[in-house]
Amino acid sequence: MNNNRPAIFLISCTFYIINIFLFPNIVSTWGQASFDSIVPGKLKIKVSPENRVKNLILLIPDGMGVTHSTLARWYKGADNLSNGTSDRAMTSLAIDELACGLVRTYSSNSLITDSAAAITAMGTGHKTQSGFLAVLPRRDQRELDQDHQLGSAGAKHEEQSVQTILEAAKLSGRSVGLVVTSEIQHATPAGLSAHVNNRNAMDVIAKQQVDQQMDVVLGGGADYLLPEKRKDKEDLLAEIKRQKYIYVSNREELLKTNTHRPKVWGAFAPLDLPYDFDRDPKKIPSLKEMTEKAIEILQRNKRGFFVMIEGSKIDWAAHANDPVGVISEVLSFDDAAKVAIDFAKKRNDTVVIIAADHSTGGLSLGSYQLDKNYELTPWNSVFPPLLKVKKTAAGVFALLDKDRTNIQSVVKENYLPDLSPEELKILAATFTLPTQTKEKFIAELVRLMVKRTPLSWTTIGHTGEEVVLYVYHPKMFRPTGVVSNTDIAAYMAGVLGIKLGKLD
């Protein structure tokens, strides 16, 4: 061990010096943070007045593990190189410079969390069980099963609700907002704006969200506002308009929104928004555009704001084991994060926190099953097939005509230019299946892509390892080391100078 010390010292010094050139504002304030010996879940934060801030921007790349960001970064570098603009190894994501720790993600009842339990931990400071949104755990499985059988209509049994950081920020006089690419009623945004023991209770969640008086709500999920789509036939869209929201449903309406009006609700799709690669840029705003508009509106409040911005569908692409979807969504999330980071760096009153809720899919750069010599994989071999795609597999499916006669041309033009006749047969065969033809087609198409790369997936569900924590604070007062997802709630409340409590 002792023999290594000079080498480690040298590496540390080199790292420090490189950092001074790359990130002078960070290195110059190192040492001001006071997070000594953090025990995960026990982070005690004393925030002195000079470290408190007005605004907090929480960005969640849902399902993004380390490998997901590695893949997106290499893709971006390769793409830059093909445009002749940079060296691929020198390319970084906007979030990279803020990495400062790791977050443990387990829930109250599982090593592997779901998004509901994860956002409850991050947003309230309480671990809870999978499927629960901003309520404490309870283990009466019979009651839970009854509730879950009710589907979107909701839950009969009530749990103890706990206040979310969004609610506490609102009470402190700040403006609050949610910006997502899934339905706004989906688990992550719902965990900050609703209290229910069933994440699938979308009708109930939608109603609670309308009662929250949030200032900016942007994403998908228009269906849950419409009487004809709701079990209780309530017209939540009319209620939103009665509350004097400006309601917008496409990109143009959002961009021309008069920022002097108080509240904006944007629902740009019946359910989730398309993947960024598949998005019609004339009709549907990007996550970056929604982020810019949300900050523009929220910052008008002199008391400050809280906003949560989610790259919701990194997780969805990873569930589908689709590397193209992962790249599409990580890069669009990173573009949105850059907006938030640039905003914060121009002022001295804003904290930006970026942390995934969990990782999804068990993505690996390297697969022995596919190639016994995979460790000799050159850098660029991952990218030629990926760089040729124009759409994700879901986007390719959406381009098929009704009788699917255009399958060959659509797949070749948008996804796999070298599609073989045998592969075409495999894809066409999915249309003869009795059910889930879309899912099976997408799964086959994704499999054909993955086998052209050294990538591999271990599961179609979530995984339980730590995720990366990224924080910007004007004085770099930030947690480091391995923390718990509940510590993020404690940190956010601390820097905002507010307390998180239980609710009646």
Per rule CB under 5 A, is residue 62 in the interface with Zn ion?
yes
Return the range that interacts with Zn ion (CB under 5 A); candidates 56-64, 126-134, 215-223, 290-298.
56-64
One-letter identity of residue 14 = T
- Phi/psi region, residue 286 (left: phi>0; alpha: psi -120 to 50; beta: rest), is beta
CB 462 within 8 A of CB 316: no
Residue closer to Zn ion, measured from CB, 254 or 469: 469
CA distances to 277, 283, 292, 332, 358 from 273, in Å: 11, 11, 17, 13, 21
Restricted to residues 311-340, the positions that interact with Zn ion (CB under 5 A) are 315
Nearer to Zn ion, 119 or 352 (CB): 119
Instruction: Record the tokens describing residue 429, joined without a space.
Output: 């065969």
Q: Taking the complex as a whole, how short is the minimal distance between the CB of residue 17 and Zn ion, in angstroms? A: 38
Encoded tokens for 316? 């969805």
Among 357, 382, 478, 496, binds Zn ion (CB under 5 A): 357
* Alpha helix ranges (H) inside 299-322: 314-319
Q: Output the six-digit token pair for 448.
A: 């054909």
Of 416 and 468, the one with the shorter C-beta distance to Zn ion is 468
Task: Give the shortest CB-92-to-Zn ion separation in angstroms.
Answer: 24
Min. distance of Cβ 357 from Zn ion in angstroms? Answer: 4
Which of residues 396 and 467 has its CB atom nearest to Zn ion in the complex? 467
Instruction: Find the shortest distance in angstroms from Cβ 187 to Zn ion.
Output: 7
CA proximity to 115, closest of 374, 331, 312: 312
Q: How far is the CB of 356 from Zn ion (least distance, A)?
A: 8
Q: How far is the CB of 312 from Zn ion (least distance, A)?
A: 8
The least CB distance from residue 355 to Zn ion, in Å, is 11
Catalytic residue among 28, 34, 92, 115: 115
Bridge partner residues of 311 (DSSP): 61
Kind and range of the H or E run holding 82? helix 66-82
152 is known as an active-site residue? no
Residue whose structure tokens are 């760096």: 345
* Residue closer to Zn ion, measured from CB, 55 or 113: 113
Which of 107-115, 171-179, 301-309, 321-329 is the region at the interface with Zn ion (rule: CB under 5 A)? 107-115
Q: Considering the rule CB under 5 A, would residue 183 count as an interface residue with Zn ion? A: no
Number of CB atoms found within 10 A of residue 445's CB: 25
Among 90-98, 234-242, 298-306, 354-362, which window interacts with Zn ion (CB under 5 A)? 354-362
| CA-based R_g, the chain, Å | 23
Q: If binding is defined by CB under 5 A, does position 276 make contact with Zn ion?
A: no
Q: CB nearer to Zn ion: give 91 or 120.
A: 120
Structure tokens at 445: 């198409």
Instruction: Determine the distance from the C-alpha atom of residue 458 to the mean position of all C-alpha atoms in its chain, rounded to a whole number.
Output: 21
d(CA 251, CA 263): 17
# residues near Zn ion by CB under 5 A: 4
- Considering only 155-163, 321-329, 353-361, 380-388, which stretch makes contact with Zn ion by CB under 5 A? 353-361
CB 304 within 8 A of CB 312: no
Kindly indicate which of the ranges 57-65, 83-91, 254-262, 391-399 contains the residues binding Zn ion, using the contact rule CB under 5 A. Answer: 57-65
The nearer residue to Zn ion, 88 or 313, going by C-beta atoms, is: 313
One residue of 69, 105, 107, 115 binding Zn ion per CB under 5 A: 115
Q: Are 297 and 264 in contact (CB under 8 A)?
A: yes
Given a contact cutoff of 8 angstroms between Cβ atoms, the answer to whether 356 and 453 are in contact is no
Please list the active-site residues: 115
Binding residues (CB under 5 A) for Zn ion: these are 62, 115, 315, 357
